[in-house]
């Protein structure tokens, strides 16, 4: 069994200080959590396997990603760094990689122009391209017979709708069908975030995580809802994810990365300590 990765996530917004890590619930009610470079250093020291840096308002605000903050972050950490937010072209991907990122996460731009995934993976290699899929449960199954219907925890049926612009705009796209398409286009990994679970401390959205993990060959990073180490365990065992991403529990000091890894190791989940 491959080692499971624990990945802290830095959701960053541009402000007067040049960039601040924030955390909200279901993508709203954002609270400040600290300086991105300071937090990145902390997680690097705690033994994080990777870091994800998401400029969460870049697409909505129609601007490019904060290159200077990425450069400063990349200078301080020695683990793989994935950067997303406001990436709309091959040239944007090139700039982010040049600034020190190891991988680039594409979300809104991929939905609007799927060929961007293919172009970027052809040039830089699929290992550099992560497609971020933000999705929300949609209970309207009667009017959506063409969608992938998934049974939720309580037995009710639903499909998962892809949302873009930081959760502001539903697309009508089915998350499972979209994930299969991005795999075909050359994406090396999927960062899956359930809006219904984001910031809730209720654990990962297992039904959609398991569905993608079973249906796709590429790794699935589960994201949204981690409140304690047991939720990571559920993501790996029940959701079959390859990696678990979390923000709140790390940013606000409830658990360190090492706490989570030690708890997982006790339950026989292979992690790098």
Active site residue 11: yes
Beta bridge pairs of residue 12:
21, 55
Rounded Cα distance, 234 and 226, in Å:
10
Phi, psi (rounded to 5 degrees) for 195: -60, -30
- Burial call 216-237: b when 16+ CB within 10 Å, e when fewer: bebbbbbbbbbbbbebbbbbbb
Whether the Cβ atoms of residue 90 and residue 119 lie closer than 8 Å to each other: yes
Token pair of 139, please? 């209970």
Phi, psi (rounded to 5 degrees) for 205: -80, 95
Which is the catalytic residue, given 49, 92, 134, 205? 134
Active site residue 174: no
What's 188's DSSP letter? S
Token pair of 162, please? 């892809």
Judged on CB neighbours under 10 Å (0-12, 13-18, 19+), 174 is buried
Rounded Cα distance, 203 and 237, in Å:
13
Q: Tell me the three state secondary structure of residue 63.
A: coil
Which is the catalytic residue, given 11, 49, 198, 205? 11
Rounded Cα distance, 194 and 216, in Å:
17
Residues assigned a catalytic role = 11, 134
């Amino acid at each position: 069994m491959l080692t499971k990765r624990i990945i802290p996530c830095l959701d960053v917004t541009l402000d007067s200080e040049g960039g601040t890590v924030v955390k909200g619930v279901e993508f709203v009610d954002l609270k400040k959590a600290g300086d991105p470079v300071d937090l990145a250093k902390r997680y690097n020291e705690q033994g994080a396997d990777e870091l994800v840096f998401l400029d969460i308002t870049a697409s909505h605000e129609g601007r490019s990603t904060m290159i200077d903050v990425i450069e400063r972050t990349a200078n301080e950490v020695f683990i793989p760094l994935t950067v997303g937010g406001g990436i709309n072209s091959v040239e944007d991907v090139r700039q982010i990689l040049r600034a020190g990122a190891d991988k680039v996460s594409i979300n809104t731009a991929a939905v609007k122009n799927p060929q961007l995934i293919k172009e970027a993976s052809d040039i830089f290699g699929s290992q550099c391209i992560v497609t971020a899929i933000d999705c929300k449960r949609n209970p309207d199954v009667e009017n959506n017979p063409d969608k992938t219907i998934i049974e939720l925890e309580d037995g009710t049926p639903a499909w998962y709708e892809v949302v873009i612009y930081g959760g502001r705009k539903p697309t009508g796209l089915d998350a499972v069908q979209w994930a299969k398409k991005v795999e075909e286009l050359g994406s090396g990994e999927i960062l899956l975030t359930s809006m219904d679970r984001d910031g809730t401390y209720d654990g990962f959205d297992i039904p959609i995580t398991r569905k993608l993990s079973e249906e796709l060959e590429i790794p699935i990073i589960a994201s949204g809802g981690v409140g304690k180490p047991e939720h990571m365990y559920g993501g790996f065992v029940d959701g079959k994810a390859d990696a678990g991403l979390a923000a709140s529990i790390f940013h606000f000091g409830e658990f360190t990365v090492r706490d989570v890894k030690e708890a997982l190791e006790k339950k026989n989940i292979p992690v790098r300590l």
